[in-house]
Amino acid sequence: MALPPDAKVTTEILWKATLIFVPIDAVFVSILAWRIDTKAFRSLKRTLIVTTAIFWFAMWMVMTSGLFWDSVYHYVFPAWARWFIPPVYGLLFGGVAWVFWHLALRIPGRSVVNYCLLGGLWGALTHMWAISRGILDKPPMLQGASPVAAVVFPVFEFMLYWCITVSVAFLVQRLVASTKGR
C-alpha cells in the first residue's frame, strides 16, 4: 500500500496535529503518573526496554514498508537500509529506553513523567537529525513544511509513543505477576 502521489504534509497539518496531541499527552501522562509510582516504574526496567524495542521495530517495519518508503524514506536512506532499519532502530530505541529509564529515576519528580518527557525530547532530536539529512527538502510530500513545526510536533508524537510503551510494559508486568500468583 502506498500513499497517493499528491499527498502533502504542510506546516498547518503539523501544528494542528500538535494541538491534538498536547491534550492527549497531558491526560495520558497524568493517568500514568497516577497509576505508576517510582517503585512500580523502577520494576519496569526489563519489560519496558523489551516493549520499547518491539514497538519501534514494528513502527519502523510499517514506516519502511510500501506505506512510507517510496514517498519519504527512500529520499534520505540508501535502498540497502530499508530492511536493516527496523531491527537496528528497534535495538537503538530499546537502548534509549534503558538510558531514559535510568535518567527518569534520577531527575526530581515523577519518574514516569520524566520518562515520557525524555521520550518527547528524543522525538525532537531524531527529527532534527532527519531534517539535517534532507527530510523536508527531498521528499515532495514534505517540501515546504516548517522545520520548527517538524521539530515541535514530534515532541508530542513521541510522548504518546512512550506513554504507550510504558502502558504496555506495565500491563504485561501485571499480567505476568497475576499469572504467577495463581
- pLDDT tens readout for residues 119-160: 999 999 999 999 999 999 999 999 999 999 999 999 999 999
For residue 60, what pLDDT is reported? 95
CA distance 162 to 156: 10
pLDDT, one tens digit per residue, over 75-124 is: 999 999 999 999 999 999 999 999 999 999 999 999 999 999 999 999 99
| Direct distance between the N- and C-terminal alpha carbons of the chain, in angstroms, rounded to an integer | 45
pLDDT given at position 1: 56
CA distance 124 to 107: 20
Predicted confidence band of residue 182 (pLDDT cuts 50, 70, 90):
low
Contact yes or no for 25/116 (Cβ under 8 A)? yes
Three-state secondary structure call for residue 141: coil
